[in-house]
Amino acid sequence: MTEVISLRDAIAADLKRNEYLKKLHQQLLRSYALYLFEKQPDLSIKEIQDLLIFSDHMSKTTDISLEQLSLEIVITLNKMYPDSHSIKFYKNRIFEELGNFSRPSNEEFKLEKSVNSLAESVRKKDEQTSRKLPTGKGYFIGEQKGLYDSLSYKLNSFSAPTSMGKSFLMKMFIEEKVKSFARLNFVYLVPTKALISEVTYDLCSRLGNYLKEKNYRVVNHFDSIGAEDISTNFIYVMTPERFEYLLLNNFSRKIDYLFIDEAQNISKKDSRSTIYYRIFDLLKRQNIDPHVTFASPLIDNPQIYKRLVDPRNRDSLKANISPVSQIYFLLNSQGRFEVYDQLTSTFLRIDNLDILSSEVALYNLPGKTLVYRNSINNAVNGAKNWYRLTEEMTETNLDLSEYISKHVHPDYYLSNLVKKKIAYHFGKVPDEVRNKIEQAFREGDLDTIFCTSTLMEGVNLPADNIIIDSSGIGKRKMDEVQFKNLTGRVGRLSNSMLGNVFIVSKTDSAYERFKKLIESKNMAVKLSVESLIKPKIAKKVSNDLKSGDLSLSSVKEEVKSPQNFDSIRKFSLIYLNSLQTENENLVTEQFNKKISVEDRELIKNKFKEQYGDYKEDDVNFSVDQSVRLVDRVKDTDINYPQVLSDTGELNVEGTYLFLRELGKIFNWQKYESEIASSEEISTVLKDYAELLLHWMNSEPISELCSLVIKRRNNDYDFLDRDQKIRKRQGINSGTPIIGSMDESNLSIQVLMSALSDIQFKFSNYFLKFSQTILKERQLTELDNDWYKYLEYGSIDENIIWLEKLGYSRNSAITLVKSRGEAIITDEFGSKFLLKNVVESIDDTDIIQETEQIIKNYPALFLNGD
């Protein structure tokens, strides 16, 4: 029987077999490579015209790969020949065919008047009207409208290319609801603290005076100013950890919509992924039933994340066509230069470019460039090496350089690098400096940024090129999803619609690895609980829990990766809690595949026997730690020490003794061996105690940098006792050169790493300690709450209040220490800001932050005399 196919499908099949199209496309790729390196493209007028006609045909096929190819061709041609009216004409036709009506007005074309053109104009107008954005100007692009409509679903999971604007759609959805007088509460989860500021800033900018008119507020923390106001509707922008603590903090407010951005993090094999599972467990237990959306980059099976809410729901949306194209170039160690042809799935050699030195050639790329490195050390050294190629460049960005020197240290490498339009970007760059770097790159003041995997965590920068010379993230191998998420960061809807990906392979094995990553079509992911809780592991967890061993000693012997073990232990704690509360969820489902009903009863009975009815809801703690803490709080007068001694000095000794006591209560010897209070490493705890106090005493990062540099001049292993960071960076591994720029930068890196450790390690313990004291001693508030002091980096209540409003720590310190009295307190103890005093302070950060905060808290700003 003859197979019947549609004309469209027949045309698509013919196009894929067309040898002339293959030849033309390869010629286009070769010409584009030459164009990038300032060589003359060798496309004839006929070849250009034929490529445009092929593109026009491909855009009408509804075949995803051909539609994407049609976009690639017209965008590439437009890049090479920006003044060609013929190319612009076809580009507009193809864009409209694929649902993109957003373009600069100078690229509009008016068809000649005729019956056909009139009909086409009506069709176009109808299509534009259906794609008009619900707020502001502009139109939905490609499959954006379907994704936007899906945000109203009760349970929704979608994936889309990095350039599709997933965050944009979710923020616009919130904007539309707020402006339409809807009385709703939203939760918007982001993977990092840095993105909290970015999303909050964007939402405040979008909503403006509507926040006041509609009685909404954007909050970032469970103790934000006004978070307890029952008449206000809230938009919670938080990390998963903060949202978990909001739920654990007697939260009872209705949540209407929960958006989880960068949902692929649920698949990561790290302890942070466990928080997502716990969040849905807590929502279920507290009868909070929001509309839920999981938003991921382009993966094959976004429906798996729905299983955290409903194991039976398997539907999902996948936007396959990216409005932005990426072209992959591969340079190997022998100087071979290739470009990947997606039509034939082959790598084409560009002979004319083989002789180029990759370093020199890539340095001269047109447009803005990101350079990915697999570690902080490699990113910093890469930026310094790049700087050496710019000796003859005139210095610029002097204001930015001065800002970095002032807010960090004059010796900080970045303060010099930015003068030649170069920077580096990773999590341990101070927040205010990292924000300035991103802003300068967006505004065109920086050309090149060296970055680490933080780029994959939702950071959007308008880059034309990305250079990648490692397929790793630290010591781990990058998988296909991570690789495509990384390369998808170049070419942005709001900027260049064509991204160039340059892969530099230093070895033959790296060359083969990169080729597989480029060619791979495997974009499926697994849930972390399924990746980590294998049958053998589940059985060992069962045996450990049956014996009451919460340290999971047999599991630890089996699992060599500390990161994987930490995740498995937290999943095990979720499992134990679920057994005790008779709660079924995705975690129990995975464990119960290999743990029998009899063994489950043995586990429950063991912990009933040891701890009675006590259950631990916080995944960061096991029941033995919590019981020991409750007993100590009940039986003694234990409390936080004073930050300052009677003489006004920092109470280092008292803090060290308190941390030692805390270590005994929480059994750090078993669970936090790196900071456990033992004779061998007591110096580590003393170092942390000293830095903790300086941080809580409101000292800015610049003062802390100077302090640590000075301390390490006399005690050069301060805060890095095992020299782990020194060895990793390869700086003066013997006797340090006191006062050198390298040594100063090492000290700054040691400081930022230690601060991160303190905030990560101690924050959970301090919060647990504070909550236990409040509960067991029936208090409503702590006068000396170190959790709050650590979280906000200050013991000054005015600084803390300003940070709760949304000011950065540095801006809050500046405001409080300024000559004018910016904060006043009324007779009822309520605080207000004097707008005229704030505006008189010559600080661009404060001015920019105030513009957004005043929209969120208008009633707290008063006009002074």
Q: Which residues contact 104 (CB under 8 A, 6 or more apart)?
A: none
165 vs 70: CA distance, rounded Å: 21
Q: Are 178 and 207 in contact (CB under 8 A)?
A: yes
744 and 690 within one domain: yes
In which domain, by residue range, is 811 found? 796-862
- Select from 318, 334, 349 the last residue of a domain: 318
Please enumerate, as own/partner, the contacts of 376-380 that have beta carbons within 8 Å and a separation of 24 or more: 376/426, 376/428, 376/452, 376/749, 377/728, 377/729, 377/730, 378/470, 379/424, 379/425, 379/426, 379/450, 379/451, 379/452, 380/413, 380/424, 380/450, 380/729, 380/745
Please state the pTM of the whole predicted model.
0.93
pLDDT, tens digit (0-9, with 9 covering 90-100), for 207-230: 999 999 999 999 999 888 888 888
pLDDT of residue 108: 54
591 and 554 within one domain: yes
**CA neighbours within 13 Å on the CB side: how many for 560?**
0
Encode 23-85 in three state secondary structure: HHHHHHHHHHHHHHCCCCCCCCHHHHHHHHHHHHHHHCCCCHHHHHHHHHHHHHHHHHCCCCH
Whether residue 94 lies inside any domain: the answer is yes
In this structure, is the dihedral angle defined by the CA atoms of residues 756, 757, 761 and 766, taken in order, positive or negative?
negative
C-alpha pair distances (Å), 403 with each of 201, 450, 469: 21, 20, 31
Q: Are 486 and 326 in contact (CB under 8 A)?
A: no
Give the total number of structural domains in the chain.
Answer: 5
Whether residue 360 lies inside any domain: the answer is no
pLDDT of residue 345: 94
Whether residue 457 lies inside any domain: the answer is no
Query: How many CB atoms lie under 10 A from the CB of residue 618?
Result: 18
C-alpha pair distances (Å), 499 with each of 144, 313, 322, 328, 750: 20, 36, 12, 9, 35
Cα angle, residue 160 at apex, residues 155 and 166 outer, rounded to 5°:
75
Number of H helices, E strands in the chain: 37, 20
708 vs 688: CA distance, rounded Å: 12
Q: Are 147 and 296 in contact (CB under 8 A)?
A: no
Token pair recorded at residue 299: 């993966």
605 and 549 within one domain: yes
- Select from 269, 300, 318 the last residue of a domain: 318
pLDDT of residue 734: 62
- Select from 269, 303, 318 the last residue of a domain: 318
Residue where the block lists tokens 């105030």? 850
pLDDT, tens digit (0-9, with 9 covering 90-100), for 493-540: 666 789 999 999 989 899 999 999 999 988 999 999 999 999 999 999
663 and 611 within one domain: no
Q: Which residues contact 736 (CB under 8 A, 6 or more apart)?
A: 712, 716, 743, 746
pLDDT of residue 319: 81
CATH number at residue 223: 3.40.50.300
Token pair recorded at residue 371: 């350079």
227 vs 826: CA distance, rounded Å: 20
284 and 172 within one domain: yes
Q: Are 489 and 455 in contact (CB under 8 A)?
A: yes
Exposure b/e, 269-279, CB count within 10 A at least 16 = b: bebbbbbbbbb
474 vs 461: CA distance, rounded Å: 22
Whether residue 629 lies inside any domain: the answer is no
121 vs 304: CA distance, rounded Å: 43
805 and 850 within one domain: yes
Where do the H-state alpha helices sit in 231-292?
240-248, 273-285
Q: What DSSP string describes 843-859?
A: -HHHHHHHHHHHHHSGG
Q: Partners of 765 in the beta sheet?
A: none
665 vs 1: CA distance, rounded Å: 78
327 vs 25: CA distance, rounded Å: 12
765 and 850 within one domain: no
Whether residue 373 lies inside any domain: the answer is no
313 and 197 within one domain: yes
Whether residue 253 lies inside any domain: the answer is yes
pLDDT of residue 100: 84
309 and 176 within one domain: yes
Whether residue 34 lies inside any domain: the answer is yes
Residue where the block lists tokens 């539609």? 67
188 and 160 within one domain: yes
94 and 176 within one domain: no
758 and 808 within one domain: no
Token pair recorded at residue 439: 């802003």
Mean pLDDT by 10 residues, the chain (865 residues): 72 92 96 90 93 95 93 95 94 90 57 53 70 88 92 95 90 96 95 91 95 95 84 95 92 95 94 95 94 94 95 78 91 87 94 65 88 94 91 88 97 97 94 94 95 82 93 89 90 79 92 94 94 96 97 94 94 96 94 96 96 93 96 96 93 96 93 68 89 98 97 92 83 69 94 94 95 95 96 97 95 89 91 93 94 95 82
Token pair recorded at residue 246: 């909001």
Whether residue 509 lies inside any domain: the answer is no
